[in-house]
């Protein structure tokens, strides 16, 4: 069964000050192209560089004091990272008309140019009337964040701007150490990803999205150490992601692009859809509909059919979003409801595929874009095996802005097939695969087919039969034809589509010339609805 993967999408948050009307802090950003400021680095690193200040601008001591106090009160040690301080300065120079931070893709672009690999950092923006109140407001705001999520690193900047004191604090979480990874590699070079997970995380997996959009998952053992070489066969940008199983299921720990045979981009384009929409925030029903529309539009762009809505999955997804909101966590594994697969099963749904995405942001486009920027979560969105989806959205007020928390649950439901024509269709598919491997085509033999079909039907008619007993029965029924065959073997699979059965390895044996294929479809307590039983008898003629 596919494992669900959780997306801890960074929420870029603006916090106001005591109900005071926010002042116009930033320049009005009309450009669609954001250039990379200097300096930019040649490699990604998780080690904190030494020798540079964590905060920039004026009255940095007040911010340092506030962060130390907030960290101590939350029992959450924070390490200052000068690169996050630089990121805070770059964000401060790119604030929107109301002091809003730039879109997440811009923050990611700026972070990657500094060599940062953790998920999109959280940003706090404060506009204060005087420097005397800096420590009080920074500590209060940071404490709110530290009370909801675990952070490990921070940086900040303090600047006088338009008659107010502008404070930008950047918080991030880093739960692994990586050996440096070059941002640019020569053509054909493998991408080496090696490092160590922090305590509490295990089962690292490297997920890579190639320039053509294909996603590959490379399990890296049980951990905590991992060392994976990702082969590259084409030039372009490879999005490399490290995920691992943590306190709330699988989480993204690192995500950054590596450019093979090409140079990193010097700017990022911000589309109109990336900008904060004007007017009031949508309600949860509208945002949910927008997420579904964007999901199916993305699937259409890669040639996939739309996913069907399932009200049962909507309820499951909504309940999980409410659980996360009420108990201040983001993740797949809940202490109250378990994993995504547990929740789906408890909802009375049987499926061989359960996937889940989680996103948080201020608009549907921001949430969807964050999912698409993560190779593992994009793979869930465009999974060709998924057939149905449920989406649950909740909202919360954040100092004048509405933030949305969304859960998407994907499953596969097998569709009814034409059982009568299925054996011939499957034989055609198997022969196509045999020819591709240099093996001769097989032909269907009447007696073999009859025995295989009876066995496949018996599997659903007699729920006590296991697969071994089913294949044993089929081969025993062929004993009366022993004079025709020197040996008969059997292979069986229970699948959700015929395509899954065409690669059964025994059926590709080049010494086999005749076969019988039986196909039946039905329900059993131990399988999802509309499961397909395929029994193939393989015979060696005398």
DSSP letter assigned to residue 259: E
- What is the model's pLDDT at position 319? 97
Report the SS3 class of residue 22.
coil
Ranges assigned E (strand) in 231-314: 236-246, 249-260, 267-269, 308-309
Residue 243: other Cβ atoms inside 10 A: 28
Asked whether 307 and 297 are in contact (CB, 8 A), the reply is no
Distance between CA atoms of 485 and 306, rounded to whole angstroms?
48
- At what angle are helices 422-436 and 446-461 packed, to 10 degrees? 120
Distance between CA atoms of 456 and 534, rounded to whole angstroms?
6
- What is the model's pLDDT at position 475? 87
Q: Annotate 392-439 with three-state secondary structure.
A: EEEEEEECCEEEEEEEEEEECCCCCCCCCCHHHHHHHHHHHHHHHCCC
Distance between CA atoms of 263 and 187, rounded to whole angstroms?
11
Encoded tokens for 270: 């911000």
- What is the model's pLDDT at position 59? 59
Report the SS3 class of residue 207.
strand
What are the φ and ψ backbone dihedral angles of 271, each rounded to 5 degrees?
-80, 160
Q: Could you give the domains of the chain?
A: 33-172 (3.40.33), 199-260 (2.60.40), 281-412 (3.40.33.10), 421-541 (3.40.33.10)
Low-confidence ranges of the chain (pLDDT < 70): 1-31, 51-53, 56-59, 271-281, 399-400, 482
DSSP letter assigned to residue 129: S
Distance between CA atoms of 341 and 407, rounded to whole angstroms?
14
Do the strands 43-44 and 122-128 form a parallel or antiparallel pair, or are they unpaired?
unpaired
**Omega into 224 within 30° of 0, i.e. cis?**
yes
Please return the burial class of 360, using the count of CB atoms within 10 Å of its CB with bins 0-12, 13-18 and 19+: buried
- What is the model's pLDDT at position 100? 82
DSSP letter assigned to residue 542: -
Distance between CA atoms of 518 and 468, rounded to whole angstroms?
15
**Omega into 39 within 30° of 0, i.e. cis?**
yes
**Inter-CA distances, 384 with 300, 365, 369, Å:** 11, 22, 20
- What is the model's pLDDT at position 57? 58
Buried b (16+ CB within 10 A) or exposed e, 157-185: bbbebeebbbbbbbbbbbbbebeebebeb
C-alpha closest to that of 390 among 406, 371, 409: 409
- What is the model's pLDDT at position 415? 76
- What is the model's pLDDT at position 206? 93
**Inter-CA distances, 189 with 115, 208, 212, 355, Å:** 20, 15, 17, 32
**Inter-CA distances, 314 with 263, 392, 407, Å:** 43, 6, 9
């Amino acid at each position: 069964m596919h494992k669900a993967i959780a997306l801890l999408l960074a929420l870029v948050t603006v916090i106001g000050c005591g109900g005071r009307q926010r002042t116009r802090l930033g320049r009005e950003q009309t450009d669609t192209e954001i250039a990379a400021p200097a300096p930019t680095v040649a490699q990604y690193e998780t080690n904190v560089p030494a020798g540079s200040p964590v905060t920039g601008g004026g009255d940095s001591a007040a911010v340092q004091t506030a962060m130390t106090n907030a960290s101590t009160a939350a029992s959450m040690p924070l390490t200052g990272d000068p690169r996050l301080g630089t990121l805070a300065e770059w964000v401060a120079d790119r604030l929107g008309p109301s002091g809003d931070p730039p879109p997440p893709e811009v923050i990611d672009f700026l972070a990657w140019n500094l060599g940062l690999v953790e998920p999109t950092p959280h940003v706090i923006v404060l506009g204060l009337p005087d420097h005397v109140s800096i420590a009080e407001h920074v500590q209060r705001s940071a404490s709110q964040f530290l009370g909801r999520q675990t952070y490990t690193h921070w940086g900040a900047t303090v600047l006088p701007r338009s008659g107010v004191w502008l404070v930008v604090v950047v918080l991030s979480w880093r739960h692994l150490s990586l050996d440096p990874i070059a941002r640019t590699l020569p053509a054909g070079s493998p991408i080496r990803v090696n490092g160590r997970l922090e305590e509490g995380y295990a089962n690292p997996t490297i997920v890579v999205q190639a320039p053509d959009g294909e996603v590959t998952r490379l399990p890296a053992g049980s951990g905590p150490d991992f060392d994976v070489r990702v082969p590259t066969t084409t030039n372009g940008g490879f999005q490399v992601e490290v995920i691992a199983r943590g306190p709330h299921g699988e989480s993204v720990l690192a995500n950054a692009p590596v450019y093979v045979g090409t140079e990193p981009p010097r700017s990022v384009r911000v589309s109109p859809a990336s900008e904060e929409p004007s007017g009031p925030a949508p309600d949860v029903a509208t945002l949910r509909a927008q997420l579904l529309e964007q999901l199916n539009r993305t699937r259409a762009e890669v040639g996939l059919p739309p996913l069907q809505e399932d009200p049962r999955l909507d309820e499951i997804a909504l309940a999980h979003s409410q659980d996360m909101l009420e108990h201040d966590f983001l993740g797949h594994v809940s202490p109250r409801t378990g994993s995504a697969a547990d929740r789906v099963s408890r909802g009375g749904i049987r499926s061989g595929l359960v996937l889940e995405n989680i996103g948080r942001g201020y608009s549907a486009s921001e949430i969807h874009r964050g999912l698409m920027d993560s190779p593992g979560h994009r793979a869930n969105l465009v999974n060709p095996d998924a057939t149905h989806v449920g989406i649950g959205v909740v909202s919360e007020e954040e100092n004048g802005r509405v933030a949305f928390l969304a859960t998407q649950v994907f499953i596969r439901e097998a569709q009814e097939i034409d059982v009568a024509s299925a054996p011939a269709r499957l034989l055609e598919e198997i022969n196509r695969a045999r020819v591709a491997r240099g093996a001769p085509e097989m032909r269907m033999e009447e007696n073999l087919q009859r025995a295989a079909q009876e066995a496949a039907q018996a599997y659903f008619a007699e729920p006590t039969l296991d697969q071994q007993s089913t294949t044993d029965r089929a081969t025993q029924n062929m004993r009366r034809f022993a004079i025709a065959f020197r040996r008969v073997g059997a292979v069986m699979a229970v699948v959700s589509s015929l395509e899954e059965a065409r690669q059964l390895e025994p059926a590709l044996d080049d010494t086999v010339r005749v076969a019988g294929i039986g196909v039946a479809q039905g329900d059993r307590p131990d399988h999802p609805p509309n499961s397909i039983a395929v029994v193939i008898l393989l015979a060696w003629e005398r």
